[in-house]
Structure 1
Amino acid sequence: MDISEVVRRTGVPASTLRFYEKKGLISATRSTGERRHFAPDVLDQLGLIALGQAGGLSLDEIGAMLSPTGAPQVDRNLLMAKADEIDATIKRLRAMSEGLRHAAECPAPSHAQCPTFQRLVKVAAAARLKQGRVTTPGAGKPKQMARGADAANSH
């Protein structure tokens, strides 16, 4: 099928298809007049690329898992590492959500009097420091430190 058919069937822009071809993620043959033609399995390859991107993989990581024929050669260790990253992100976001809900519903007369809110503020500040996002006064760049921190959010 030609590039316009692939675009129509997948919604992937022609410029993206050309970029993927240039990176070696998909391949096309050229006919007379230099029109690109793709094998029907390009639709599956584009699905694998979309799945990998949705899972947080870079195009280089995805490319390393595609054989020259486009068949997947799954790097199980990489997928496990990505799954662990997603789990950690979910844990942090769940803690953040619960903390925000607590702050919104807290019966204390002032958030300054709420021990849970004060603990959340301290945990958030520590997490920023560990992620290297805090700048010191007068310094232009954040300090880079080790990553990761979990929020405590129980009363």
Structure 2
Amino acid sequence: MRALDTTEVARLAGVPASTLRFYEEKGLIASVGRRGLRRLFEPAVLERLALIALGRAAGFSLDEIASMFTPDGQPSIDREMLLAKAKELDRTIARLQAMRDGLQHAAACTAPSHMECPTFRRILQAAASGAVGGRTTRKRGRLPDR
């Protein structure tokens, strides 16, 4: 199969050409030559870009994604790293569900003001302690029960 130029790869992968250049700089993909000023890539780069996109969507850093490939470019994904990321996502989901529940309660609360609502006050306390938002630790991260 013929090599694809940057424009073709960008179109097929749904990423800007600048992303391809950045990924090449980071060593995540490699061009195989040039056609004029455009880099050329083997068609297999599309599968690699799909794996990179999946890793990014799951929250892996580019360095973590780079570690998922052997020096010859073959995927070699550490299953323990996948399990750790899945557990991290579970914690994030639980935190977001608790935040959603708190917001739904605050929206429907019949107290004269939110500051008079005991549940809303507990949400405020949790936010102040870092239990909600982006500052969670492994043991904290859940809003108090209503």
TM-score of the pair, normalised by structure 2: 0.83
What's the CA shift for 1:95?
0.7
Show the counterpart of 1:135: none
On the 8 A contact 2:5/2:35 being kept in 1, the answer is: no
Whole-angstrom distance in 2 between the partners of 1:21 and 1:118: 50
Distance in 2 (alpha carbons) for counterparts of 1:29 and 1:90: 41
Q: Secondary structure of 1:149's match?
A: coil
Give the letter aligned to residue 76 of structure 2.
Q
The alignment's C-alpha RMSD in Å is 2.3
Query: Residue 25 of structure 2: which of 17, 22, 29 is its match?
Result: 22
TM superposition shift of 1:98: 0.7
Aligned partner of 1:76 in structure 2 is: 79
How far apart, in 1, do the equivalents of 2:64 and 2:87 lie? 16
The answer for unaligned runs of 5 or more in structure 2 is none
Q: Which runs of 5+ in 1 are unaligned?
A: 133-145
Report the Cα offset of residue 57 of structure 1.
Answer: 0.6
Work out whether 1:38 is the aligned partner of 2:41.
Answer: yes
Which one is further off, 37-46 or 116-125?
116-125
SS in 1 for 2:29: coil
Supply the distance in 2 between the matched residues of 1:126 and 1:15 (Cα, whole angstroms).
41
**Contact 2:123 2:144 (C-alpha < 8 Å) held by counterparts:** yes
Alpha-carbon offset, residue 109 of structure 1:
2.7
Is 2:107 the partner of 1:95?
no
Alignment partner, residue 152 of structure 1: 144
Which of 124, 129, 133 is the equivalent residue of 1:126?
Answer: 129
Matched, 1:58 2:61: yes
Structure 1 letter corresponding to 2:87: D
My pick for the range that moved more, 44-53 or 95-104, is: 95-104
CA-CA distance at 1:46 after TM superposition: 0.3
**Matched residue SS, 2:130:** helix
One-letter amino acid of the counterpart of residue 75, structure 2: P
Count residues with an aligned counterpart: 140
- Structure 1 contact 28–36 (Cα < 8 Å) conserved: yes
Cα gap change, 1:94/1:80 in structure 2, threshold over 3 Å: closer, same or farther? same
Partners of 2:37 and 2:113 in 1: how far apart?
A: 70
Contact 2:102 2:120 in 1 (8 A): yes
